[in-house]
Amino acid sequence: MDLIQAVVLGIVEGLTEFLPVSSTGHLTIAEKLLGLNVADPAVTAYTAVIQIGAILAVLVYFAKDLARIVRGWAAGVVSAEAREAEEYRFGWLIIMGSMPIGVVGLAAKPLIEGPLRSLWFVAGSLVAWSAVMWWAERNPSQKKAEGDLRAADVLVIGLVQCLALVPGVSRSGATISAGLLRGVERVTATKLSFYLGIPALVGAGVLQLPEALGQGIGVMPTVVGTVVSFIVAYASVAWLLRFVSTNRITAFVPYRVVLGLAIMVALGAGWLGAT
C-alpha cells in the first residue's frame, strides 16, 4: 500500500465511521477501487487498525465527559457512597453494552474476514438496514435522556451493535436505530453510539495491528491512515451531533439505497468483482 492509498482510506474511514452509512462497507468499496485485494488478511487488518484514529477523535472530543464517567465509575468501585452517583451507573452501562460485540466479534472473526467481505454483502446490507433506520425513526416515544437509560436499553443496543460486523450495516446506524426503537432521544442515542464504539473499535484495532504491520502494509501507511482518520473523524463527530439535533437519520437512507443498488448493478454487469 502506498501513501496516497493510505490517505484516501484514512479520509473514507474518518468521514464514514460515525455516520450511519457503514465505514467498513465504504472502505471495502474504496479498497476495491484502489486496486487492493479486499480478501487479503493484511488489508482487512488495516481497515480495523485505522479505526483507532476515529476512536481517538471521540476520546478527544468527549474528553471531559469521559473523564467524568471514568472518575465516577472508579470511585464507585472502591466507595459505597460514590456508587450513588450517576457516573458510576453510566460507566457500568457502557461496559455492559460493549460486551456483546467483543464476544461475537472474536467468535465470528473468520466469517467477518472471509465471506462477509464480499461486495454483494455490502450492497445488500446497505439497502436492507435502510429499512430498519426508516422504521426506527417512526417510533414516536424518543424521550429517554442519558439519565433515563436502563440496563435493558443498553444491552439491547449492544446486541444490535453486533450486526454491524456485517459490512454495510453500519455500527452507528445499528446502535442509533436500536436506541430510537428503545425510546431514546436521538442526540443521546448518537452519543451512546460513540461511547459504545470506543471499546469495540479499539479492541479490534489492537488485535489486528500485528497483522497489518507484519503482512506487507508497513508502518508508514498505517500511521498516515490513522492520523488522517483522526483529523477527519473529529470534524465528522462535531457535524453529526449538530445534524441529529434537528434532523432524522432517515436523511441518510436515500444515499445508502442508491449506493447499494449502484454496487449491485456494477457487480451484475461485471464492472466490479465481489472480492
For 12, the domain range is 3-268
Looking at residue 215, its pLDDT comes to 59
Query: Which of 172, 210, 211, 221 minimizes the C-alpha distance to 194?
Result: 172
- What span, in angstroms and rounded, lies between the C-alpha atoms of 63 and 30? 31
Is there a domain that residue 248 lies in?
Answer: yes
Q: Are the CB atoms for 177 and 132 separated by under 8 Å?
A: yes
User: How far from chain centre, in Å, is Cα 15?
Assistant: 11
Going by C-beta distance under 8 Å and a sequence separation of 6 or more, which residues neighbour residue 143? 183, 185
Going by C-beta distance under 8 Å and a sequence separation of 6 or more, which residues neighbour residue 106? none
Query: Which of 166, 225, 161 minimizes the C-alpha distance to 189?
Result: 161
**245, exposed or middle or buried, with CB in 10 Å at 0-12, 13-18, 19+?**
exposed
Query: Which of 241, 233, 138 minimizes the C-alpha distance to 188?
Result: 241
Looking at residue 217, its pLDDT comes to 72
Is there a domain that residue 273 lies in?
Answer: no
Cell 446497505 -> residue: 126
Is there a domain that residue 100 lies in?
Answer: yes
Residues of the chain falling short of pLDDT 70 = 108-115, 208-209, 211-216
Looking at residue 213, its pLDDT comes to 64
Query: Which of 80, 69, 27, 73 minimizes the C-alpha distance to 50?
Result: 27
Is there a domain that residue 84 lies in?
Answer: yes
Q: Are the CB atoms for 188 and 144 separated by under 8 Å?
A: yes
Looking at residue 69, its pLDDT comes to 93
Looking at residue 62, its pLDDT comes to 92
Is there a domain that residue 118 lies in?
Answer: yes
Query: Which of 220, 274, 259 minimizes the C-alpha distance to 12?
Result: 259
Global confidence as pTM: 0.87
Looking at residue 109, its pLDDT comes to 66
Is there a domain that residue 259 lies in?
Answer: yes
Cell 476520546 -> residue: 59
Is there a domain that residue 207 lies in?
Answer: yes
Query: What is the number of structural domains in the chain?
Result: 1
- What span, in angstroms and rounded, lies between the C-alpha atoms of 275 and 47? 15
Amino acid found at 118: S
Q: Are the CB atoms for 225 and 7 separated by under 8 Å?
A: yes
* pLDDT tens by residue, 183-224: 999 999 999 998 988 887 777 777 766 766 665 677 898 899
Is there a domain that residue 274 lies in?
Answer: no
